[in-house]
Amino acid sequence: MTSGKSRVDSRPDLQADFGYRILRLLEGHGLAPSPIHYWIFHDYLQASNEALVQAVSERLSAGRKLDSFVLHDLFERYVAGESLSRFNDMGDDLEALLSGIISLLRNAERTTAGFQACLTDNLQALDQAENPEGLKAIAQCLAAAVVTASSDNLALQRNLEEAEQEARHLRLELEKHRKASITDPLTGLLNRRGMETEMARVLKVSDEICNVMLVMDIDHFKSINDRYGHAVGDVVIRKVAASLRRVLPPDAVLVRFGGEEFVALLSGHSVQDAVALAEQAREMVERLRLVNRQDDTVVEGFTISVGISPASDSDTVETLFARADRALYQAKHAGRNRVVALGS
């Protein structure tokens, strides 16, 4: 056996058997052998990622389906998260290093400028000294040193400008990758990781402001996929997301939580405000009509249910979500296509 955490034998025949077991698992769940699907089952069988193993085992024990969306979510939470953390740490360290270099360059620039001013003052004072010819000769040598220092300073300034440009470029690249890591590619909304980060920030900085969470779900979405196909289902998700974006305030933290479920956090709004906005969104979605251009099939009749809860002073994102999710359950249980609000 190999040393370390890996529990997979390094011999080729056993490695092949291990790969075959993964493929059998993928086949048993009706999943294509894509890199992420393979990665999840590889780590599950290898048992080196305890959190991932527990999450997969719990779903299997409960008889819950492991579809592609679930595996991508597991990858995002238990595999990519650590890599993203290292990436963010690297970005912070790199930016700190660049800031330090720029600070040193600026200090060097100021030091050189001060040295030149000091020498100029001394050169003027030499005119009053005894034996001026000898002293002026010394001063001329010092003045030549100043010329050299000034030339070096020009080069230093050029390096400083280049360093600042590179720093700006790196900051933009880091920000672009950070945004990509917290964005849902289908809708352009925040994903679950972005939800945790942005909503925690809002709750932290707005203790004196009313915050309200909405948890929204497309009703009977499985039947939409079954009847029209997953491609049409994706269009429905995008249209619902666009409707929510139009209705909710621009500063709302709007998230595609998973599958057909959305979450929004409104800051500075009362529960009554949230209910009114949710009703607008519900009515807008109810009026949506889509036409499948391939066969002119009209896709209609999809609705959303909404659960709402205000935040208390002690709430975290998790506790607030749990309460709003209970409100969503009540809306579903009461017949769907409705809004239910719970107190804090």
Reference 247, options 256, 239, 259, 237; nearest CA is 239
Are residue 232 and residue 128 in the same domain, yes or no?
Answer: no
The mean-pLDDT minimum among 36-40, 151-155, 328-332 falls in 151-155
The mean-pLDDT minimum among 105-109, 191-195, 338-342 falls in 105-109
CB within 8 Å of 31: residues ≥ 6 apart? 37, 66, 67, 68, 71
Catalytic annotation, pick one of 109, 175, 260, 318: 260
What pLDDT was estimated at residue 299? 80
More confident residue, 210 or 146: 210
Q: Which of these three, 137, 158, 181, is where a domain ends? A: 181
More confident residue, 95 or 216: 216
pLDDT band at 2 (very low <50, low <70, confident <90, very high): very low
What pLDDT was estimated at residue 10? 43
* DSSP letter, residue 128: G
Are residue 90 and residue 53 in the same domain, yes or no?
Answer: no
What is d(CA 169, CA 160) in angstroms, rounded to the nearest whole number? 14
Task: Identify whether 309 is part of a domain.
Answer: yes
Question: What six digits make up the tokens of 90?
Answer: 């690297």
pLDDT band at 273 (very low <50, low <70, confident <90, very high): very high
- Name the burial class of residue 236, with classes exposed (0-12), middle (13-18) and buried (19+) by CB atoms within 10 angstroms of its CB: buried
Task: Identify whether 198 is part of a domain.
Answer: yes
Share of the chain above pLDDT 70, in %: 65
Say if residue 252's pLDDT is above 90: yes
Q: How many domains does the chain have?
A: 3
Are residue 157 and residue 240 in the same domain, yes or no?
Answer: no
Task: Identify whether 295 is part of a domain.
Answer: yes
Give pLDDT tens digits for 20-54: 777 788 888 888 777 677 788 888 888 877 888 88
Task: Identify whether 187 is part of a domain.
Answer: no
C-beta of residue 95 within 8 angstroms of C-beta of residue 112: no
The mean pLDDT of the chain is: 78
Domain that holds residue 237: 192-341
Block residue for tokens 């996929």:
225
Are residue 198 and residue 326 in the same domain, yes or no?
Answer: yes
Question: What six digits make up the tokens of 239?
Answer: 């249209």
Mean pLDDT of 163-181: 70
What pLDDT was estimated at residue 244? 97
pLDDT band at 97 (very low <50, low <70, confident <90, very high): low
Task: Identify whether 273 is part of a domain.
Answer: yes
Are residue 135 and residue 243 in the same domain, yes or no?
Answer: no
Task: Determine the residue type at 161.
Answer: E
Mean pLDDT of 272-298: 88
What pLDDT was estimated at residue 230? 83
C-beta of residue 182 within 8 angstroms of C-beta of residue 191: yes
pLDDT band at 285 (very low <50, low <70, confident <90, very high): very high
Block residue for tokens 């620039």:
109
The mean-pLDDT minimum among 76-80, 170-174, 274-278 falls in 170-174
Highest mean pLDDT among 14-23, 101-110, 215-224, 291-300: 215-224
What pLDDT was estimated at residue 258? 83
What pLDDT was estimated at residue 182? 84
Task: Identify whether 30 is part of a domain.
Answer: yes
Looking at beta carbons, which pairs linking 142-146 to residues 24 or more positions away fall under 8 Å? 143/119, 145/119, 146/115, 146/116, 146/119, 146/120
Say if residue 326's pLDDT is above 90: yes
Share of the chain above pLDDT 90, in %: 28
Give pLDDT tens digits for 286-308: 999 888 766 777 887 789 999 99
Annotation says 50 is catalytic: no
pLDDT band at 94 (very low <50, low <70, confident <90, very high): low
Are residue 158 and residue 93 in the same domain, yes or no?
Answer: yes
Are residue 55 and residue 127 in the same domain, yes or no?
Answer: no
CB within 8 Å of 229: residues ≥ 6 apart? none
Are residue 319 and residue 248 in the same domain, yes or no?
Answer: yes
What is d(CA 261, CA 187) in angstroms, rounded to the nearest whole number? 12
Mean pLDDT of 76-85: 64
The CATH number given to whatever domain includes residue 216 is 3.30.70.270
The mean-pLDDT minimum among 131-145, 176-190, 252-266 falls in 131-145
Residue 258: which H helix or E strand, with range?
A: strand 253-258
Q: What distance, in Å, lies between the first and last C-alpha atoms of the chain? A: 55
Is the pTM of the predicted complex or chain greater than 0.85? no
Are residue 203 and residue 303 in the same domain, yes or no?
Answer: yes
What pLDDT was estimated at residue 12? 43
Are residue 59 and residue 89 in the same domain, yes or no?
Answer: no
